[in-house]
Amino acid sequence: MTWTARHWIACAWLLALPCPALAAPPAAPMPAAAAAPEVRQQGNLRLDGVPETPPELVARALQFSNARPLRLAGWLPDGRGMLVHTRFGETNQLHHVAMPMGMRSQWTFGQEPVAFAAIRPLAPPAAGPQGDPSAELVLGIDKGGSEFYQLFHFRRADGKLARLTDGKARHESPEWSKDGKQLAFVGTGRNGKDFDLYLWAPGADTDAPPAPKLVKELSGNWRVMDWSADHAKVLLLHFLSIEEAEVFECTLATGELRPIRADKAGKKAAYGAARYGEAGVIWLLTGVDAEFQRLVRIGPDGAAAAVTANIPWKIEDFDISDDGKRVALHVNEDGWARLYVLDDKLRPVLVPGLPDGVLSGMQWAPDGKSLAVSLTGASTPGDVWVVQWLSDKKPPAVARWTQTETGGLPPQVFVAPKLVRYPTFDMAGGKRRQIPCFVYKPEGKGPFATVIHIHGGPEAQARPWFDPAIQFWVRELGIAVLVPNVRGSDGYGKSFLELDNGKRRQDSVADIGALLDWAATQPDLDSKRIAVYGGSYGGYMVLASLVQYGDRLKAGIDIVGISNFVTFLENTQAYRRDNRRAEYGDERDPAMREFLHQISPLTHANRIRSRLFVVQGANDPRVPQSEAEQVVRAVRAAGQPVWYMLGLDEGHGFAKKSNRDALIAAVAHFWKTQLL
């Protein structure tokens, strides 16, 4: 995740414009409470009021849900292939790929998914075709979606997995030193809230690895970014909010923190990834003095230069080769990914030959001549491509390294979205503000039933990546899908990002109202058959839209969504509470508490007259189960039936394949019975 600063200038005349989300419709008469629904168990799912999905619908949905996402984990240190995250069973595990389009060989096997992996940069002996037998990894694995990640040491030579951490706290961002002798990471073991810095070094006894050493107590949310070449320092990112972050260089021997800034004044700004380059150089992402997050080079003399100042889009991520000579950039251009590499004069040069889609990771090979990238798009759940520079005088060669499965369906059947913009309620630059929206449409003339798919965050962004549920709705159910990036979404500059700040929260809901207006003007969309769907903050948007526009919406699906901002802020995990207060407001302030109460869907649950489906993970550390339970009770008390699916071994979303399969099929059944 990267972060940008937020900026907004209020105009008095603008505030006088009508905002449809601020005036709720009158509450409907309250009918008698509905009869208690049937509750049944299906594996690790508790289905409360959710009817059986017809077998034929389950079978067809399985083809789409059996598409296998695949993403890059990293190169092996000797360059003999790479590791990727993918699934051949119930959960995502690590697999080895030795060559382009080579066989995938599974390395890890577990009931819980491998969330992240750090590959130890050793200088190994000669390796066989199955990969380096001396390869060592540190893996991040949680239990039941709790996100309390524990670190495990894994040796390929004997397949042993040994836990390094305390088994209780949350641990993140493991980074190996350049020589592979030490691992730096952060964890909340001291007090459950603050992310302190730890070091760990492998010992001779792999069955009982040594305990990590606490080297620096820190306050707040921190991440390890990179190690210096001399192994004496690390770069740390201190995340305060979407508006503000800081980068520090920590001297490990003393714990001294030195601020790294892109401007001499040290202005409040957002910072993202930071890495060491050639001797004395630090590269980082920041939004300081810019509308979009840029790549900045800080030289040995401390002088900062924005090398992407001429790219009018957000730089999502970057990577530097081990020798510091090559820098690759992921540019987010209106949602689509573009790959650039800096030339010898530090000018960004577009890399041709990659298909349209979204990058989800990149890494230079140890030799610095090949760059692996994870890419997902409309026709692929995710694959790895490698760009190789064979000569400084020739364009790079692009090779596809993996071709993941798509559930037996030919990739050509999947529908690519079209990017449109629709006008919303307020003005920008003398005309109606435009909201970007990806549109997926079935074949034929329509008019089609329509689902508005709302992303979470709120400072996230809907991008044209592969979504098996959307493809199933479009291809099999004949539903059009609208995926908007309402105000507050990332990727469109800091001014757009901050438009939902504070007491402008419901303006983003008004953007959904404007999308309903736009949909009513489209002859191939059926304005009488529209539903909303979203997860996390998108779940809040679903509930808020049902409150505000229930007379125009037939149904809604809320997945791990916020129903009451006050109870959410009080009950979300302590380590993330302060940065959520920075986004939504501090519920401890009486005036803000009252505002948050008034805009919360739970306060107006009796206005929800559309059919509702609520999905929740019992171990969710972000949006706790209580947020789902209370809105289900309130809507049912108002006389409306609710489907409620609870994943007993899940957290913030469903990670287990069997649960995801059941969810995709149940959602399809809900649309067929409540929307079509």
CA distance 329 to 295: 8
Beta strands in 29-181 (DSSP E): 39-42, 45-48, 71-75, 82-86, 93-97, 104-106, 114-119, 136-141, 150-155, 161-163, 171-176
Once rounded to an integer, what is the mean pLDDT over residues 44-62? Answer: 95
Mean pLDDT, residues 409-414 taken together:
88
**pLDDT over 90 (residue 1):** no
Q: For 557-579, b where at least 16 C-beta lie within 10 A, e where not — what string?
A: bbbbbbbbbbbbbeebbebbbeb
User: Which pLDDT score is estimated for 133?
Assistant: 62
Q: What is the pLDDT of residues 250-287, one digit of tens each?
A: 999 999 999 999 988 888 899 999 999 988 899 999 99
Domain parsing of the chain, residue ranges: 327-409, 415-674
pLDDT band of 652, cuts 50, 70, 90: very high
Which of the pair, 170 or 413, is modelled with greater confidence? 170
What's the pLDDT score for residue 292? 94
Of the chain, the percentage scoring pLDDT greater than 70 comes to 93
Instruction: Assess contact for 502 and 509: CB atoms under 8 A.
Output: no
Residue 666's pLDDT band (cuts 50, 70, 90): very high
The DSSP result for 150-207, as a single string, is: EEEEEETTT--EEE-S-SSS-EEEEEE-TTSS-EEEEE-TTTSSS-EEEEE---S-SS
Q: What is the dihedral of CA 98, 103, 106, 111, to 10 degrees?
A: 140
Q: For residues 78 and 85, is the Cβ–Cβ distance under 8 A?
A: no
Say which CATH superfamily domain 415-674 falls into.
Alpha/Beta hydrolase fold, catalytic domain (3.40.50.1820)
- pLDDT band per the 50, 70, 90 thresholds, residue 35: low
Q: Specify the pLDDT at position 391.
A: 74
**Nearby residues of 640 by Cβ (< 8 Å), 6 or more positions away:** 34, 608, 609, 611, 612
Per-residue pLDDT tens over the stretch 495-525: 999 999 888 999 999 999 999 999 999 999 9
pLDDT tier, 393 (very low <50, low <70, confident <90, very high otherwise)? confident
Tell me what pLDDT residue 435 has. 98
Positive or negative, the Cα torsion across 303, 307, 312, 317? negative
The predicted pLDDT at position 266 comes to: 82
Mean pLDDT of 205-219: 88
Reply yes or no on whether the pLDDT at 147 is more than 70.
Answer: yes
pLDDT value at 670 more than 60: yes
State the DSSP H helix or E strand holding residue 505, giving kind and residue range, or none if neither: helix 505-520
Q: Give pLDDT tens digits for 467-480.
A: 999 999 999 999 99
Buried (b) or exposed (e) across 62-81, using 16+ Cβ within 10 A? ebbbbbbbbbbbbbbbbebb
pLDDT at 34 exceeding the cut of 90: no
Which residue matches tokens 């401890």?
588
Rounded to two decimals, the pTM is 0.90
135: left (phi over 0), alpha (psi -120 to 50) or beta: beta
pLDDT tens digits along 331-364? 999 999 999 999 989 999 999 999 999 998 999 9
Residue 26 in this model has a pLDDT that exceeds 50? no
Among 148, 90, 110, residue whose Cα is nearest residue 659: 90
Indicate if the pLDDT at residue 454 is higher than 80: yes
pLDDT of residue 575: 87
Other beta carbons within 10 Å of 48: 19
- How many angstroms separate the CA atoms of 351 and 340, rounded? 5
pLDDT of residue 132: 58
Q: Which ranges of 337-488 would DSSP assign to H, the alpha helix?
A: 468-477
pLDDT over threshold 80, residue 75 = yes
How much is the pLDDT for 4? 29
| Cβ atoms of residues 178 and 119 within 8 Å | no
263-267, 312-316, 359-363, 659-663: which range is least confident on average? 263-267
